[in-house]
Each structure stands twice: as structure tokens, then as C-alpha cells.
Structure 1
Amino acid sequence: MSAITREQLRTHLRQAGLRATRARLDLAALIFGGGAQHLTAEGLHRRARETGIQTSLATVYNTLNRLTAVGLLQRIVLDSRRTYFDTNTEPHHHLFDEDDGELQDIPAEAVEFLRLPEAPAGRRIESVDIVIRVRRENP
């Protein structure tokens, strides 16, 4: 979503069942106004402050978690210290550069599976999320 208006953001939030508070609208403009992107809460908080949006890190986390809960963002947990939020909610995988912390999309069709394990009784496989980690060959 590039060049999205505040009214479009308001409608988008309401359609997802969320109140369009000022804080959510301000943060949603940063999240959805720049096209597909991978965000961390800390990075979004820093960008908000740089653009004059006065908000707490807790509000940023709450907003990201609510947007994820209603399906507007996808959460990618890389390890106990790193969680990204992805504006691309279509099925896809990721390439993570361990050296620079950059996360990139990999189209779902670029990864092939020969076999998946059987799901436990009474369960079905909902999705498969792959993160391929890379690092410079000669650090």
C-alpha cells in the first residue's frame, strides 16, 4: 500500500475490527505507507520518534501485536531476541542475513518440499514457514 491516505488507513483498521485511534493511525501510516516491509518494534518506534510521533515502545508493541492478531501483519520470530513484523501476509518464506540483520522475502514457489511429516492425529498442517539464514563467507 503506497501513498495511502489517513481515511484509507481508518477504513482498513475498522474493517479489521480495530478502533482507529490516533496512535494506531500514526503507526499504521508508517507501517502500511511504505509498501512491503519487515519491521521490528524498536525500529518502528525509532522511525515514529524521528517523524515527530510521540509514542511509547509499549504502544508500538501493542499496535503491532493487535495488527498481527487481526491478520494485517505476519510475525516472524527468528530467535528469543529478534521478532520482525511483515506487511506481506501472503504465503512466502524468508532469507535472513545474520551479518546485517536484513530480512528478505522469498516467493513460496521458490521453495520445493519433497516430503512433510504427518500432522498429529486430529490436526492438519496450517502452513510451513522457512527462514534461510545466510552469513558472509569470509567475515
Structure 2
Amino acid sequence: MTERPYAQAINRLRDADLRPTRQRLALAKLLFEQGCDRHVTAETLHEEAQKSGARVSLATVYNTLHQFTDVGLLREIMVDSGKTYFDTNISDHHHFLCETSGNLTDIPAHMVTVAGLPQAPDGRKISRVDIVIRICDE
């Protein structure tokens, strides 16, 4: 028996209490049904959506990526003030950022040791530590 088209995307959205709109389904399919962890920017996902025939604006892509992040389907990685990636791997891990190509590569969490952290300000707690190690071609 074959699975209906978009079945995985529909289930993932419903499990996250998101209504499976046409745009969300198209973007969820692109993000999650390729079988690997992905690091995308809104611009690269918009380009993929256009190539796949999905009619979705760049603003909708941004909004959808932030909605997916808010419900825990994606992890946002800000590498500088002008560049944000969205990661389909939501487990604890870190990243290499190739400054030449802009590619982001996962580093398993156990491969990075943090010797100490400052005390969080009063009334706050540290929720996560994200480390981005910048690399370049020699």
C-alpha cells in the first residue's frame, strides 16, 4: 500500500497543531521529506519552492519558517545579523560554517565541550548553547 502524497507533511503539521495549508504543506514537503538534515535560508527555500511549482511568496516562506520554529519543527541558527539558517535537525548539536561557501555542517554535541558558562541574569535561565565554528578554505 502506498502512502498518499503529502501524508507525512500533513501528519507532521497536525502533530504540531498547525493547520496544513497549501503553502505550509508545500514547504514542509521540501524541508522534511528529502530524508536528511537540512540547513536552509528563507531565500534558498523560496527558490526551491519556485522550482517545484509551489506558488508562495518570500514573505510567506519567512512566516512559515518562523511558525515551524515556534512549534519546534525547526531550529533557527543566526550566524550573523544578516544571515539566518533554519535547521531540520532539532537535536542538541553545533555547527561549522564555511565562510567561503556559506555551508553549514552539523557537529555532534558530544564533540564540543564547554568548560563554563556565565550565570544567567536574575530571573533568567540558559535554555541552550549554540556554537558556530567558522572555517575557511586554505
TM-score, structure 2 as length reference: 0.92
Matches within 5 A, 1:124-139: 124-137=125-138
Contact 1:67 1:73 in 2 (8 A): yes
1:7-86 → structure 2 map (5 Å cutoff) = 7-34=7-34, 35-86=36-87
Instruction: Output the CA distance in 1 between the equivalents of 2:33 and 2:91.
Output: 18
For the Cα contact (< 8 Å) 1:4–1:29, is it kept in 2?
A: no
For 2:113, the equivalent position in structure 1 comes to 112
Structure 1 unaligned regions, length at least 5 = none
The residue that corresponds to 1:87 in the other structure is 88
Offset at residue 121 of structure 1 (A): 2.6
Distance in 1 between the 2:5 and 2:101 partners?
A: 32
The superposition leaves residues 16-55 of structure 1 with CA deviations (integer Å, 9 ceiling, x where unpaired) of 1110001110110000011210001000010111111111
State the superposition RMSD in angstroms. 1.6
Q: Distance in 2 between matches of 1:5 and 1:50?
A: 18
User: Secondary structure at the residue paired with 1:128?
Assistant: coil
Structure 2 unaligned regions, length at least 5: none
Structure 1's 92 and 5: CA in aligned 2 closer, same or farther, altered over 3 A? Answer: farther
Number of residue pairs the alignment of both structures matches: 135
